[in-house]
Amino acid sequence: MHPAAKRIARFGMALMAAACAAGLPAPIWASQAYMSAGSKEGQAILFERGGACFALAPTHLIEGSDGFATLVGDGGELTTGRAWQIRDLGFDLSLFGVRGSIESACGGDLPNDAELSSVLAQGSGEVQLRYLFEDGSVARRAAQITDTDGSFIYLSETGDWVISQGHSGSAIVQGDTTIGIMMQLGAEGEAPRALRFDKAVYLVRWEWEGSGEAPQAPSPPAVGVDGIVVERTSALPLGPDDTVEHLVAPLDEAGHWRAKAISWPVDLVLQMPGNEVANVAGLVFHTLHGEAVAHPRTIEVLRTVSAEGERSWSPVTSLTLQPVGGIREITFEPAIRTRRLKIVIYDTWLDDGETVELNRIEVLIAP
C-alpha cells in the first residue's frame, strides 16, 4: 500500500476507535479526487471494491467528454488516474473505474447505506463543502443545511462565497462524516442541492447487487506498461531535454518530446517490451498544456508482428486528436496483436510546418 494511503488508513482507524469509545457513531469518510473531463472540471468520490478502485461523480461532468476523465487525488502525495467503464446510475450520478497511481489513495469500500441514513437522520445545521484543486490541495467552505428529503440535501452558502460549477461532485461533510455529493447549483430561486450519500451508496448497491448476485470484481483493465522502446523517429529533437525517449518514460518523471520535422509525415515507431508480440488494447496520448502548442492533429496507427523491416505494416486506425491539453485514449476492440507500432503524424495543431510535441504515449497492454 502507498505510504500516504497507510497514513490515512491509520488515521481513520484511530478516529473510529475514539468514536466507539465515546459511544458516538463511527465517522464515515470518503476519499476524493479533482476531476477534469473535456472542458469541465469538478470532483469525484473514490472507493475500493474487490481490489479495484472506483469513483462516483455527477453525470453532467462526464457527458460530452467522450467518456474519459483525468483525476488527481489527495492523501499527502500527488497521484493521478483515468476513468474507464462509466455507468449512469440515474439522479445525475455516474459510477466508473479508475486506474493509475491514484489507486494507492483510493480509500476503503463504501459504507452501509442504512448506517448512513441513521447519521443523516441526526444531521442538521452546519456542514462543509470539501473539494480539491488540480494540484491536489484541499479546500473547505462552510454551508448550512436548509432542508432534506429522501434523495437530496439542500444547502445555502455561509459567508461571502458562492457554490459554482467547479464544485460539482464535492463532498458534503459534517464533522468527520461524508453525508452528500454536490450535484446542482440550483436554478434561480432554488437552493443548491447535494445527493445524499446514503442514496448514492444505495444506487451503487442496486447497480451491482440488484439481481441478488454478489458483486463481481471487474476483469483487470488494460494497463500502461514499462519496457516500451522508441525504435526510431523521423524528427529531430529541438534540444537536449526534448528527446523522443521522454515519450515512453514513467508519467511522474519530468521531460517531454519536442522535435523538428525533417519532412512530413513524421514517423514514430514503438517496440513492445522485450521486442515480443503483445496484445495492445489502446494508446493514451498525454499532451502538453497551453494553447499554441504543436500537438499531433491527424495521425494513423499501423502494426506489425515482424521484428524488423518496413514491408509488413498493416493499418489499424486513423483519426484526429483533439487540440486541448490533457490526454486522449484510443481503444482497440478487440485488442491487436503486434510486436511494433508505427504512429504516423501528418500535421499538428500549431501548423507552423516544422514543430511536433507531445508529453507521453502510453501503450495499454491487455492481460
| 117-131, 182-196, 212-226, 268-282: range with lowest mean pLDDT | 212-226
Per-residue pLDDT for 199 more than 70?
yes
Per-residue pLDDT for 188 more than 70?
no
Instruction: Note the pLDDT of residue 265.
Output: 94
Over range 222-231, report the average pLDDT: 77
| 36-45, 74-83, 196-205, 357-366: range with lowest mean pLDDT | 74-83
201/112: higher pLDDT: 201
HSE-CB of 322 using CA atoms within 13 angstroms: 17
Over range 250-261, report the average pLDDT: 85
Per-residue pLDDT for 331 more than 90?
no
Over range 174-199, report the average pLDDT: 81
Instruction: Note the pLDDT of residue 299.
Output: 92
306 within 8 A of 340, measured Cβ to Cβ: yes
Over range 46-65, report the average pLDDT: 83
Average model confidence (pLDDT) across the chain: 78
Instruction: Note the pLDDT of residue 240.
Output: 85
26 within 8 A of 111, measured Cβ to Cβ: no
Per-residue pLDDT for 303 more than 90?
yes
Over range 255-267, report the average pLDDT: 91
Q: Which of 318, 323, 288 is nearest to 301 (CA)?
A: 318
233 within 8 A of 243, measured Cβ to Cβ: no
Over range 28-57, report the average pLDDT: 84
* pTM for the full predicted model: 0.56
Cell numbers given for 109 = 469500500
Instruction: Note the pLDDT of residue 24.
Output: 36
326/156: higher pLDDT: 156
Expressed in angstroms, the distance from the first to the final Cα of the chain is 22
| 10-24, 280-294, 323-337: range with lowest mean pLDDT | 10-24
Over range 247-253, report the average pLDDT: 83
| 5-19, 138-152, 267-281: range with lowest mean pLDDT | 5-19
62 within 8 A of 86, measured Cβ to Cβ: yes
311/56: higher pLDDT: 56
Task: Report pLDDT digits (tens) over 12-23.
Answer: 333 333 333 333
Instruction: Note the pLDDT of residue 184.
Output: 74
- Structure confidence at residue 163 as a pLDDT band (50, 70, 90): confident
Q: What backbone phi and psi angles, to 5 degrees, belong to 223?
A: -130, 155
Per-residue pLDDT for 159 more than 90?
no
319 within 8 A of 299, measured Cβ to Cβ: yes
Instruction: Note the pLDDT of residue 326.
Output: 58
How many other CB atoms are there within 10 angstroms of residue 4's CB atom?
A: 17
Q: Provide, rounded to the nearest whole percent, the portion of the chain with pLDDT above 90.
A: 22
Over range 221-242, report the average pLDDT: 82
Cα separations in angstroms, 217 against 198, 199, 344 = 22, 22, 37
Question: If 0-12 CB within 10 Å is exposed, 13-18 middle and 19+ buried, where does residue 150 land?
Answer: exposed
367/210: higher pLDDT: 367
Instruction: Note the pLDDT of residue 241.
Output: 85
Instruction: Note the pLDDT of residue 341.
Output: 95
Cα angle at 364 between 363 and 367, to 5 degrees? 140
Instruction: Note the pLDDT of residue 30.
Output: 78
d(CA 194, CA 177): 15
Per-residue pLDDT for 148 more than 50?
yes
